[in-house]
Structure 1
Amino acid sequence: MKLRHLYLSLCVPGLLLPYAQLLPWLNEHGPDLPRLVAELFSTRIGAFFGIDVLVSALVLLVFIASEGRRLAVRRPWVSVVATLLVGVSLGLPLFLYQRQAKLDAGRP
């Protein structure tokens, strides 16, 4: 299996696993952003994971912008949207797939 295919396959759990937790919560509470944030940061361990993911997402967005521009990756905005709508668990493997596809295309 090529590395880019592995990255692409990792997008599936990167989408399904977070949404398996979010969708039931949305079904119960609706799109209540203040409540979501309050529940996320209601414990120190929750805050730890929440802040970790937010910082990781910011780093990923910088990486997508810089590496996408450097390699002229096609449609890097797709990975930005994936990161904002789902999270790092989808945005990172998706951008790594896009990046690896670009790198593979340049190889003989």
Structure 2
Amino acid sequence: MSPLRMIYLALAVWGAIHPMYWFVSYMRETGTGLSGLIDAWYVNASTTGLTWDLTIAAIALTVWILAEVWARRNWTALIAIPATFCIGVSCGLPLYLFLRTRQPA
């Protein structure tokens, strides 16, 4: 595995663990669960703007993944779409780059 692929993989793992730590910490601290976390994303203009920024980035990444998967026939890379929406762009983007740069079998 190339050093660049190792970096992509490390960023995908970090992008999954680090944000999730803060999400779980918030839910434990407030006792509100996932619905409380989602409500907090829209508590003021700043967090709403950031939420929309990440949502638009996730949609753009999904369009790119679909276009590239269709052209390259790299069906495994589709796993980056649920990773993007269930975990976050911080995991989905480096995961897709990791999967995109693998050597063909």
- Using structure 2 for the length normalisation, give the TM-score: 0.85
Structure 2 residue aligned with 1:14? 15
Q: How many residues align?
A: 102
Output the aligned Cα RMSD.
Answer: 1.7
Q: Structure 1 stretches (4+) deviating beyond 4 angstroms? A: none
Long gaps (5+) in structure 2: none
* CA distance in structure 1 between the aligned counterparts of 2:34 and 2:41, rounded to whole angstroms: 14
Instruction: Indicate conservation of the 8 Å contact 2:23/2:37, yes or no.
Output: no
Give % identity.
Answer: 26
Alpha-carbon contact 1:74-1:98 (below 8 Å) kept: no
Aligned match of 2:79 = 78
Q: Deviations over 1:21-77 (max 9, x none)?
A: 111223321232xx3333212222111211100000000110110112211213122
Identify unmatched segments of 5+ residues in structure 1: none
Residue 86 of structure 1: how far off its partner (Å): 0.4
Greater CA deviation, 8-17 or 70-79? 70-79
Shift of 1:18: 0.9
Per the TM alignment, residue 2 of structure 1 is displaced from its structure 2 partner at its CA by 2.5
The CA distance in 1 between the partners of 2:62 and 2:18, in whole Å, is: 21
